[in-house]
Structure 1
Amino acid sequence: MPPSDLPIDMSDPRIRDYIALIRLQVLTPLSFLVNIVAVIVCGLVIKPTIGDLSKIHPNPLTPQSSMIGTFVVILYVTQIGYCLLLVLARKVETKNTLVKGVGISFVIANWLMAMWAVAWSFQLWLVSTILLGLMIISLSYANIVLLIYHTPTTRRPLDIILIHLPARLITLGWSWPYGDPTRYGDYQLEGLAVVLPVNILALVAVILRHDVVWCFGAAWINAAIWSARPKAAPVFITTVVFTVVLPLALVAATVFSHLRNRKRGVIALPPDEEVHPRV
């Protein structure tokens, strides 16, 4: 049936947003379910597992398994909350963030993550790299839109936890063969080319937007990377530095903003006029 024959006015933006929300309510949980099943099967059932392959083929960005595992669990928990928020959201601002901010990006990223897990398990390195790159594009687009047009606010804490938090993970890497510890310096410049721009972007977001989610998410990923040893010096130094700098920048930016707002709020009174005695 063509849209013109439907008994509703599809030209009404409210109707289009409502249909888009319903579409997300169906597609997002489905894509998340496919994602988590694929990761569980490839991470626990198929041998070698995703973790085993990371140890066999380490790279300059290989993270510490337990830390990245904790991070992934947090992401999955927040995605469950995100799916619930799609159904339970009542505020117009939250619905706009879901439909126009994140949109279909999470759905695409979940499917790409599931396909990446399969490709990685079958050691299809080129395919897995392409899928990971596409996932980065999808998540980067969502992050840019969220930061520019749907800035997180403490007035809607659930939006921060369930929308902005899951949209902050970006990972990319190269590998060298069979875990040879003498090869840990391979691709160190490529690794630096990944971690440095991402951390600079995170630093800009922290300073300009006071983005707590991005700050602690990026710091956690940095810590997960440098804690997995051995690590090439450029990657190790960069991740350690930004692990410290990001929280400090958040505190400094918050304090500076608070002091500036207080200064603007002070009303400058004119100086008292001197009273000259009349002659």
Structure 2
Amino acid sequence: MKPAFERILLATEHTEFDVGAERVAFALSKHCGLPLDGVFPMRSNPEYEIEAPQLVVKAEREAAAKIAQICAAAESQGVELNVSARRGEMRYREVVEEATRLHSDIIVVRRRGKRGFLAQLMIGEMVSKIVGHAPCSVLTVPRAAQMWQRGILVAVDGAPSAANSVKLAIQIAATCGLPLTVLSVAALDFAPQRAEAESIVAHHLATIQAAGLQGSGMVRTGKAFEQIVQGAQAAGADLIVVGRQSDGGIVKAMLGGTAQKVIGLAEMPVLVVRN
């Protein structure tokens, strides 16, 4: 079976909020036997550089020191890490462009920086935009999260693109030797909706079994993002896989979509699969 990932990119500013992403990226790199790419995004603009060159120099020195710390931490874990610092007006764009340049197939990033006054379910603006614009799948990691060791839950609906999420979940489950659960959520507890969800689960379970794995199915009723997180907890999973939906070029994961809410609520890594 093809490996789940072949080129991993860690996006970090090496703050207290990035420690989970760094921990999981190192573990994933070691597990896959791959070197790790890194990108350190820095906010800057031409006016700032002209008017305050001394501050630019200071920022670059601080970034260099942080990058050295990250590389030392990776080396202590036996991970080969190459970090590039990129400057631009929008940090998310630097991350996305680096992933494009490197042909990365996964970006590992924190869930959020400092929490704003809005909301348990909010994720950081930079992270939201990375999820929405990335050319590949994005793994968001809370500060305290670890590399998955217990199980994987993949959330699916009736969209054809759900097959991409299931395919990647199968690859991860196979390489990690972990149980895989397929979940579909019915918005209402009525027979037709539950029957549709059960049919969706059965379809994807057949795909899992055809790949030589044993999977389990689950149907829950209610708000999708709440039921996905609760379903993962019930299944004993410590990785959630969801799809990144798009509609007419507008990525729903950016503004209140199910993926964003799952990321904000879950205390485990969430893999958002590019469809």
Q: Same fold (TM over 0.5)?
A: no
Bigger fraction of residues in strand: 2
Bigger fraction of residues in helix: 1
* TM-score, with structure 2 as normaliser: 0.24
* TM-score, with structure 1 as normaliser: 0.24
The structure with the larger Rg is 1
